[in-house]
Structure 1
Amino acid sequence: MSREQRLAEVFIELADTLVDNYDVIDLLHTLCERSVELLQADAAGLILADQRSELHVMASTSEEAKLLELFVLQADEGPCLDCYSTGEQVVNIDLDEVEARWPRFHAATAAVGFRSTHAIPLRLRGQVLGVLNLFCSDRVTLSDSDVALGQALCDIATVGLLQERTVRRGEVLAEQLQSALNTRILIEQAKGVLSERSRISVDDAFGLMRAHARRNHLQLGVVAAGLIDGTITAATLTAGP
């Protein structure tokens, strides 16, 4: 399959969320995964703002990426925060500059083996909802076309979050983001439950939950709630289709 064909598939996949009852958490994880695939990254994480403009980690492709995102929010330091506050991409920053501007972030990324990072905003017409962060094990420089592609992926995901049905009749985006945050907390709890019961990593646990949700046309929050209350068993998920 050519790169052009793959790009078309990815944009169709992301645009498929522009339907009723789509799963916000799944959309954000899809954005992270496809960005890693297409932009030479090794991991990705995504933060979103709630109704109080407080940032929360909402998706990641690995536990390392999630922990780095949490570190950034706790330390209040990192390129993704600059990206969120300005609405501008923070990419291809020299490592010496990274160390000078964000020393604690530089040390944290180096400790887990990442040597370059890039931050791309989720924005539309001046409204910034969050940031996609890419982490690379090598010193990866994104080309202008790579940056444009990353921004396009973020833009279509932003449109999914801001689509008309979520804001009509006085509804506000903050309600949707708060609901997604509540669901994310539930999913984290369920990942821990499945990981402990099945003796697998939390990344593998999430993969099984997501596969089960897609296979049975369920939202991730429903699967998470079922694991916690026992209506969905670990054996059901680990058995596969």
Structure 2
Amino acid sequence: MHHQNDAQSDTRLVVPRHLAIIMDGNGRWAQQRGLPRIEGHRKGVERVKECVRTAAEIGVEYLTLFSFSSENWRRPQEEVDALMTLIKRFIRQELAELHENNVRVRVIGTADRVDPEITAMIADAHALTAENTGLRLTIAFNYGARDEIARAARRLAEEVARGAMRPEDVDMAALEQRLDTQGLPDPDLLIRTSGEVRLSNFLLWQLAYAELMFVEDYWPDFDREAMVRTISAYQNRERRFGGLSARRTA
């Protein structure tokens, strides 16, 4: 119960308005402990719940989590099936609490290959939380950034082809309005866990000026203390946005 007090007392912690996280390292966390990879994913789901609570407590307005990429279908079928089961369980068990805590849930990505039951559950989550005004939780599921950009470009091409817009009206703003993240501000900070130093096809357009932080912790170990520590380091960075300085200090 001391967590809330800690968050309130840390008055100098300047948090990112929009925090994006690549949750990496579940399988390696499990393997180091001699456990099946799925046990790492189960632990990772538990960490998601704590992450959402912490983000809301410390004042993050938008939280975007990379949960399942469109490339993850290449994993062993047994692992993919177990992941889908975990996703269903998470929605069933956590949606009511998220709604009760005024969290607005949004899932981005495509429905290709996704179990219709999961698609229906996602639609229900969108509908139930659509009017909530607290933390905006976006989950990237069956998502790939290059595919997202290609789909947005296709929509623009279709609109030009049918005469709904002129080619000269196709600009950055027009494309952004057709991305899965339409309506969300760009992330201020991206955190990737597990020591890997790459974006892995995540939010390639939206991360143009984000601060990038790569931490050694595996996702199941990335607890509240680790999140606050990482955001504290972000606070001391100087954001330039291509030239202008904007130091993140209180």
Q: What is the TM-score with the length of structure 2 in the denominator?
A: 0.25
Rg larger in structure: 2
> Which protein, 1 or 2, shows the higher relative CO under an 8 Å CA cutoff with sep ≥ 6?
2
Q: What is the TM-score with the length of structure 1 in the denominator?
A: 0.26
